[in-house]
Amino acid sequence: MLPDQAFELPEATRELRETALGFAMDTLAPRALEWDQARHFPVEEMRAAASLGMAALYVREESGGAGLTRLDAAVVFEALAMGCPTVSAYLSIHNMVAWMIDCFGNDTQRARWLPELVPMRLVASYALTEPGSGSDAAALRTRARREGDHYILDGTKQFISGAGASDLYLTMVRTGGEGPGGVSALLIPKDTPGLSFGANERKMGWNAQPTRQLIFDGARVPASALLGEEGQGFRFAMAGLDGGRLNIAACSLGGAQAALDKALAYVQERQAFGKAVADFQNTQFRLADMRTELEASRTLLWRACGKLDAKAPDAGAFCAMAKRFVTDTCHKVADDALQLLGGYGYLAEYGIEKIVRDLRVHRILEGTNEVMRLIIARSMLGRR
């Protein structure tokens, strides 16, 4: 393989990207601002994406999924985010839940849930964070106690994307003692008695998906809702987050690329002091830096995807590096794009201010970027 070829996507992945990009431009981009302003959750449009295989990208083919790689998925989420980062990010969450059921569930759970999740007839959310445990996920307090053939849940989950609208919640709960070894995972349907939802949070961005609390007050689910065995939930959660970090980095990349494309078109048309803004050297330098930063982000992301696909021992550290670098860098690129448009960049109708708002949360979720630095440093020092 020639050096240049090592950095090229396979033809099938390029075709997948074109399909996803076409869907993003035709279906997501024209209504993204409307959905943001109306706080509308576009479930039907996401089901249309699911009809193209985008709701179960790395679920195995024998389980009804597309059976693709993490690199394929990252390319798809980047393309979708060029239409709307919020929708792409939610699709990444749904994909993660479907994959976790396929990977860690039993035959009965796969048969029960995947035929509904793959086409998005049912929509899924992931529930780990709590009011008192965000970055310190192993300190979660939501309790599930076993009573005969059921678990009884009490506690609250915070910042849950899709809450109240989703049909299924893959929820991390404490079934044992303190620390990660006491955490288990349960599959909890929306209509579970004792489950209710908080108010839809008013947020800086991500307005096209609801964010609410899950409130468990004596909620009762059958013991068959347990994913894997008791005490395995934290391991499942961390495995899910490795892929989730790549996905959210890809969403940042797509959003930033869309912002750069908008800015590039604008500076070639906008006149100032008798010439196009693009003719100023300062503009050219900024554009050059923005493209370089996106290409560096894309290269690191793809390498991290390759590590996770290969199940490399250092895959977790690479996922953390990609998440930290790409989300920080791409938020800066989007903000630089807004600056190039001046006052127009601040107006909603140009679309860049929405991208800046949407991408800001990517530096917080799936593990804050400060936690990513801890993961990277501990891997360098040989510490867990």
| Cβ 322 vs Cβ 244: under 8 Å | no
Number of residues written out for the chain: 384
Task: Select which of 230, 293, 353, 366 is catalytic.
Answer: 366
Please, which residues have CB within 8 angstroms of residue 15's CB and are 6 or more apart in sequence? none
SS3 assignment, position 147: strand
Rounded to whole angstroms, the Cα distance separating 236 from 241 reads: 9
Q: Report residue 45 as tokens.
A: 């449009």
Rounded to whole angstroms, the Cα distance separating 246 from 301 reads: 7
SS3 assignment, position 41: coil
Rounded to whole angstroms, the Cα distance separating 84 from 71 reads: 20
212: phi then psi, degrees, rounded to nearest 5? -140, 165
How far are the Cα atoms of 280, 358, 366 from residue 89, in angstroms, in the given order?
36, 10, 11
| Cβ 151 vs Cβ 225: under 8 Å | yes
Rounded to whole angstroms, the Cα distance separating 262 from 279 reads: 17
Catalytic residue list contains 366: yes
| Cβ 308 vs Cβ 70: under 8 Å | yes
Q: Which of 143, 157, 170, 153 is nearest to 217 (CA)?
A: 153
Rounded to whole angstroms, the Cα distance separating 267 from 166 reads: 41
- Kindly state the greatest CA–CA separation across the chain: 79
Rounded to whole angstroms, the Cα distance separating 284 from 280 reads: 6
Instruction: State how far Cα 60 lies from the chain centre.
Output: 20
Helix spans in the chain (H) = 11-23, 32-38, 43-50, 70-81, 85-104, 107-117, 233-269, 281-309, 315-340, 352-360, 369-381
Q: Which of 310, 328, 317 is nearest to 252 (CA)?
A: 328
As to burial, measured by CB atoms within 10 angstroms (0-12 exposed, 13-18 middle, 19+ buried), residue 384 is exposed
Task: Please give the positions annotated as active site.
Answer: 366
